[in-house]
Amino acid sequence: MSKIVSTIKCGVSAMPQVGLGTWQSKPGEVGKAVETALNCGYRHIDCALVYQNEPEIGDAFTRVFKGGNVKREDVFITSKLWNTSHRMEDVGPSCEKTLSDLQLDYLDLYLIHWPVCTEPHMGSLFPMTEDKKLMLDSKCPPFSETWKAMEQLVKDGKCKNIGLSNFNKTQIEEILEIASQPGGVKPACLQVESHPQLPNLELLQMCKDNGMAFVSYSPLGNPGSQFRREDQVSLLEDEDILKIAEAHGKSPAQILIRYHVDRGNAVIPKSVSEHRLTENLSVGDFSLSPAEIDTINSITNRVRYRTCSVVHFKESPYYPFPEELKE
């Protein structure tokens, strides 16, 4: 099996196309998964404060980097600003906490995790009102305030690149306008859920048009996740995916990962299994034909699902998928 080592442009950096996602990786497992991944060839690790596992990942980074076989500068590391830290004065401290937890001096990429902002300093990542509704930020800072603070992190050397996650087209356009001002820093990346049941082709084209890297999370359709709907059809069992996998002598997961690689995207499947970690990276010895990619793109015409809609954010004026609430 040939491990993939290709990269795509992400701002001022080169981002390895296949990385390791750490969302929903359990405590006691995630550190070992990161260590195993780095030792078997991964050079792209995706993290976030809200995953509540960054200290364990930081311990893994320190062990591996001190070992000498993998250098910090050779690994592309991403983290994300959580919703409770969108105010200008909270962005820097939140980034500093992540750097401390991950035991790093800088991040390769720091993303605004969601466009939604919630009340800070309440002792919870998900502050709730007395009637059990999400407590939105009482100051509701505009994107311009948060983005200016993100830009300062780049100027201070805390992050090489900054970007967005889970933003819609209109929201991305607003950030691009803010970043176009003198001294501004353009978003280097958009990270969104993307798989054949939700390919997000319009956002992909927008990223290409604006020179932004496109990163897919949940590329396998989030199998086994608590966020999956009961009626969601598994992509790993989809007839078209199975036929293409058989034709190439590959697993369905490898086809779903290669689908993004061949379209010039980065992809961050999550796993804690050494076998699957190796398999997910071993997609460098084949490619999909244009006809196969068209077939995979068409899956959404018969089955469309978003597994990470986080509908309890819906009360926010910045909720990015309001049209889906009507479906």
Catalytic residue set: 51
The CA-to-CA distance between both ends of the chain, in Å, stands at 43
Q: For residue 158, what are its two tokens?
A: 């805390």
Q: Which residues contact 259 (CB under 8 A, 6 or more apart)?
A: 196, 219, 288, 293, 296
Is residue 216 a contact partner of residue 195, using CB atoms and an 8 Å limit?
yes
Mode of pairing for the β-strands spanning 13-16 and 7-10:
antiparallel
| Alpha-helix runs per DSSP H in 129-270 | 143-155, 169-179, 201-209, 239-248, 252-261
Is residue 113 a contact partner of residue 81, using CB atoms and an 8 Å limit?
yes
Q: In angstroms, rounded to a whole number, what is the distance separating the alpha carbons of residues 111 and 80?
A: 5
